[in-house]
Structure 1
Amino acid sequence: MSTPAPTRPPRPAVPGVVPATLMVAEREILAQVRTKSFLISTAVLLLGVLAAVIGSSFLSGRTAEATQVAVVAQTADVVEAMPGMEPVMADDADAARELVESEEVAAAVLPDESGENPTGITVVALTDAPQSLVGGLSVAPSVELLDADEGDQTGLRYLVSFAFGAIFMMSAMTFGSTIAQNTVQEKQSRVVEILLSTVPARALLAGKILGNSALALGQTAAIAAVAIIGAVVTGQDELLSALGGPVAWFIVFFLVGFVLLASVFAASASLVSRIEDTGPVLTPVMMLTMTPYFVIVFFNENALVMKIASYVPFSAPVAMPVRLFLGEAAWWEPLAALALLVASCVAVIALGARIYARSLLRFSGRVRLKEALAA
C-alpha cells in the first residue's frame, strides 16, 4: 500500500506594490532609528540649532537686562514707554536720589523744577548717565527713510538663506547618501536577489524613498520645533511671526525636492556593484545638491538670479521660501514653482525607476547610463 506524498505548505503570497512599498519603508526607518550614530548625530544637530538661536539672540542684544531707572509718579509714563528701561517707583525726588546714591538704579528721571529745560525732565546719575536713557529723552528731528527695511533685512536675508539652504542640503546629502549606500551594499552582498524575489524593483525603490523621506521630514520638523522653542524663549516673536508662512512653504517644497533628489541618488547608486565604485556616479549628484545652496547664499541679493533659481527644480525648495520671506514673490509664484517641481519630480522618478530596475541585477562592474536606459 503506497503512502500518500507529503503535502507542501502553500507558498506565501507575494505582496502587492503598496504593501511591499510600506514594508520596505518600515525596514528603512527601523534600520536608521536603531543605530546610535543616527540618534547621536540628530541630538547634536538639534543642540546646535538651539545654541545658534540662543546665540543669535544674545549677540543681537535681545537677552540684555533692562536698565533700572528710578521714577516718580510724574515721570513713570515717560520711562515705561522707552525700550530697554525698567522703571523703579520712588515716593518722591529725594527717595529717587537715594536709590541712585546707593547704586540700586543706574539713574533717576525727575521733573525739572527750574523750568529751564524744554523737556521738563531732569536725569540724575551718580557718575555718568546712561547714554541710551539720555538719547531716548532727547528731542531729535524726524527722520524719513526711503528704504526703511533694507538695512534690517540684509542680515535676515543672509540668515534665512543660510538656514533654509543648509537644512535642505544637509538632509538631502545625509539621507540621499544613505539610500545610495544601502543600494550598493545590497548589490554587493547579493541581498538584492532575495529582496527582488519578494518585492518588485519599483516597490523597493519607492519604499527606500518613502522611508528616508519620512526620516528627513521628521528631522526637519524637529529642527523647526527646536528653533521655534528657542525663538519663543529668547523673545524673538517678531522674527517667528515673519517666518511662519515661508517655513510652511519650505516644508512643502522640501518634501517634493527631497523625493526628486532621493530618486537620483538611488538610480545613480544602482549603476555600480561595489562601495569603492560609488565616487564617480555620486559626485555629480553631490554637486547637483550643493550647487543650489551656494547659489542661494552668494546671490541672494540678486533679484534676477533668485527669481530664476525659484523655478529651477533643484534650487526651488530654498529660493522660493526665501523670496516669500522677503516679500519679493507674488501670490501665484509659489504655486507655479511647486507645480513645476512636482512635474519634474514625477519625470525624474519615472526615469530613475527605469534605471534602477534595469541595473539592480547587473553585477559585472559599472553599468553605463546609456546601457541601463537601452536595456
Structure 2
Amino acid sequence: MKTSSAIRLIAARELKVKIKDKTFLISTIFFLLFAVGGTVLPALLGGGASSVAVVDSATATTLRDKGLEVRQVGDDAAAEQAVRDGDVDAAVVTGGDVLAMDEAPTDVVDALSAAPEVRLLNPDAIDPLLAYLVPFGFAVVFFFTSLTFGLQIAQSVVEEKQTRIVEILVASVPTRALLTGKVVAGGILALAQIALIAVVTIAGMQLSDNGALLSLIGPSIGWFIPFFVVGFVMLAALWAAMGALVNRVEDLNGVSMPMQLVVMLPFFLVIFLSDNKPVMTLLSYIPFSAPTAMPVRLFTGDAAGWEPFLSLGVMVVAAAALIAVGARVYEGSLLRTNGKTSFGAAFRDKESRRLAELNS
C-alpha cells in the first residue's frame, strides 16, 4: 500500500472513532459555552436602557441623546404615576429630581450628571480586564486542546498495543504512515474545534456590538491559527511516542507526565506573567509557549511586525526536530510488548526501526 493511501486510511479511521468520542464532544461544548459566555451573555445580562417619564422637554432631549427610552408626560403627578404603575423605570420631575420605586436608576443619574472633561495621556492603552482575558483565552484554548487531543492520540496508541491490533496494522501499513495518520486526524479535529470556537466568538462579538473589540483582537486570532497548527503537530508526535512506550492504559499517566508539564507550564506562565514584557518576549521564542505568548504580544502591541515570522520559523525548525525524535521513539517502541520501554531505549532501538523501514 502506498504511504499516502495508508495515511488517508488511518486518518479516516481515527476521525470516525474520535468524532464520536465523549471527551471531544464535551470539550467542544465547553469551549463554545466559554465563547458565548465571554461575548453574548454580558450584553444579554446587561439589559436595555431604562425607560424614563419626563416632564421637561429639554431634559427629554438630553436623555434621548444619551440613548435612554423617554416618555414625555404632562405633569409631575403623571410622571410619578407612570413609575408606580410600572410603565417606566424612572421619572424626572420638575426641578430635576429623579423618581424610582426601589433602586436608583444609575444610567439616568449618569445621563443627567455633568461629568468633568477627561484627557487620556495614553489613549491607546488596553482595558485592564481585556488585557487579562485575552491571554487567558489563548492559553486556555491551546492548553486544553493540545492536552485533550494529545492524550487521545497517546491513548489510541496504547489501546492498539494492548489489544495487539498494532501488529496487524504494522503488517498492513508503514509505521510512519500509522503515526502520520493519527497526527493528521488529531490535527483536523483540533483545528475544526478551534475554527468553530472562532466563528462563535466572532458572531458573538457582532451580536453584542463589540465590533471595535473584534478589529482589535482579530489580527492576533489570525496569527494564533498557524502557531496553533505547528505547535499541535509538534506535540502530537511526542504524545504518540509517549503512548508507544507502554502497553497498558493504566501506565499512560505516569509516562506522559513530562508531556503534561511541557503543556502546563507555558499555560501558567502566560497567564500570570502576561504583563511582564521581557518574560513574554522570551516565551514567544520558546516553541512550547510561543503559540500563546506571541499572539498575546501582537494583541498588546509589544511585538514588532517581523517577530511573529521569526517566532513561527523557530517553531517550524523545532517542530521538525521533535517530530523526527517522536517518530524514532514511536518506531523503536511500538512493537515492544514486554512492559514499559524507556525513552532512551526506544530511541536507540535500531532493530525495531529497521523492521519498520522494511515494512515501509
Is this a same-fold pair by TM over 0.5?
yes
Secondary structure, in 3 states, of the residue corresponding to 1:87? Answer: strand
Shift of residue 134, structure 1, vs aligned partner: 4.1
Shift of residue 208, structure 1, vs aligned partner: 0.4
Q: State the one-letter code of the partner of 1:78.
A: T
Tell me the residue number matched to 1:81: 65
Q: Is this contact kept in 1: 2:79–2:93, CA < 8 A?
A: no
Query: Structure 1 length as normaliser, TM-score?
Result: 0.82
The alpha-carbon distance between structure 1 residues 27 and 131, as it changes in their structure 2 partners (threshold 3 A), is closer
CA contact (8 A) 1:107 1:123 kept: no
Q: How far off its partner does 1:258 sit?
A: 0.6
Query: 1:323: Cα distance to partner?
Result: 1.3
Show the counterpart of 2:256: 282
From 180, 192, 211, the counterpart of 1:218: 192
Instruction: Judge conservation of contact 2:245–2:333 (CA < 8 Å) in 1.
Output: yes
Counterpart AA for 1:102? A
Identity of aligned residues (%): 41
- What is the CA–CA distance in structure 1 between the aligned matches of 2:99 and 2:42, rounded to whole Å? 33
CA distance in 1, matches of 2:186, 2:174: 18
CA distance in 2, matches of 1:264, 1:65: 51
> Do the aligned residues in 1 keep the contact of 2:332 with 2:348 (CA within 8 Å)?
no
- Kept in 2: contact 1:97–1:124 (CA 8 A): no
Alpha-carbon spacing, 1:29–1:329, altered in 2? closer, same or farther (3 Å): same
Instruction: Choose 206-215 or 71-80, whichever is displaced more.
Output: 71-80
Tell me which of 91, 96, 101 is aligned to 1:107: 91
Of 243, 251, 273 in structure 1, the residue corresponding to residue 247 of structure 2 is 273
For residue 312 of structure 1, report the CA deviation from its aligned partner.
0.9
- Give the structure 2 partner of residue 4 of structure 1: none
- What's the secondary structure of 2:262's corresponding residue? helix
Is 1:144 aligned to residue 119 of structure 2? yes
SS in 1 for 2:46: coil
* 1:157 alignment partner, one of 104, 128, 131: 131
Q: Which of 283, 287, 291 does residue 309 from structure 1 map onto?
A: 283
Aligned pair in 2 of structure 1 residues 63, 241: CA closer, same or farther (>3 Å)?
Answer: farther
Equivalent of residue 68 in structure 1, options 20, 29, 51: 51
Counterpart-to-counterpart distance in 2, 1:368 and 1:130: 67
Q: Secondary structure at the match of 1:69?
A: strand
Counterpart pick for 1:201 among 156, 175, 180: 175
2:12 is the counterpart of 1:26: yes
Deviations 1:176-224 (CA, angstroms, capped at 9, x unpaired): 0011011111122221111111111111111000001101111122222
**CA deviation after TM superposition for structure 1 residue 125, in Å:** 3.3
Shift of 1:354: 1.5
Runs of 4+ in 1 over 6 A off after TM superposition: none
Normalising by structure 2, report the TM-score: 0.85
Match for 2:148 among 163, 169, 174?
174
Q: Which residue of 2 aligns with 1:244?
A: 218
Distance 2:100 2:189 in 1: 59
Task: Select the residue among 46, 52, 64 that pairs with 2:32.
Answer: 46
Give me the whole-angstrom Cα distance separating, in 2, the residues matched to 1:21 and 1:295.
Answer: 36
The residue number in structure 2 matching 1:293 is 267
Post-superposition offset of 1:63 = 2.2
Matches of 2:121 and 2:27 in 1, distance apart? Answer: 46
Question: Hey, what does 2:306 align to over in structure 1?
Answer: 332
Please give the secondary structure, in 2, of the residue aligned with 1:197.
Answer: helix
Q: Tell me which moved more, 353-362 or 205-214.
A: 353-362
Asked if the contact 2:50–2:107 (Cα under 8 Å) also holds between the matched residues in 1, the reply is no
Rounded Cα–Cα distance in structure 1 between residues aligned with 2:261 and 2:32: 26
Of Structure 1 and Structure 2, the greater helix share is in: 2
How far the C-alpha of 1:226 sits from its partner, in A, is: 2.4
1:48 offset after TM fit, Å? 4.6
Q: Larger deviation: 37-46 or 189-198?
A: 37-46
For structure 2, the residue ranges without an aligned partner over 5 or more in a row are: 350-360
1:24 CA drift (Å): 0.7
Alignment check: 8 A CA contact 2:270 2:280 kept:
yes
For 2:100 and 2:129, locate their aligned partners in 1 and report how far apart those are by CA, in whole Å: 36
Question: Do 2:92 and 2:99's aligned partners in 1 also have CA atoms closer than 8 Å?
Answer: no
Task: State the one-letter code of the partner of 1:216.
Answer: A
Contact 2:241 2:327 in 1 (8 A): yes
- Partner-residue secondary structure (3-state), 2:51: strand
What amino acid is the match of 2:50? T
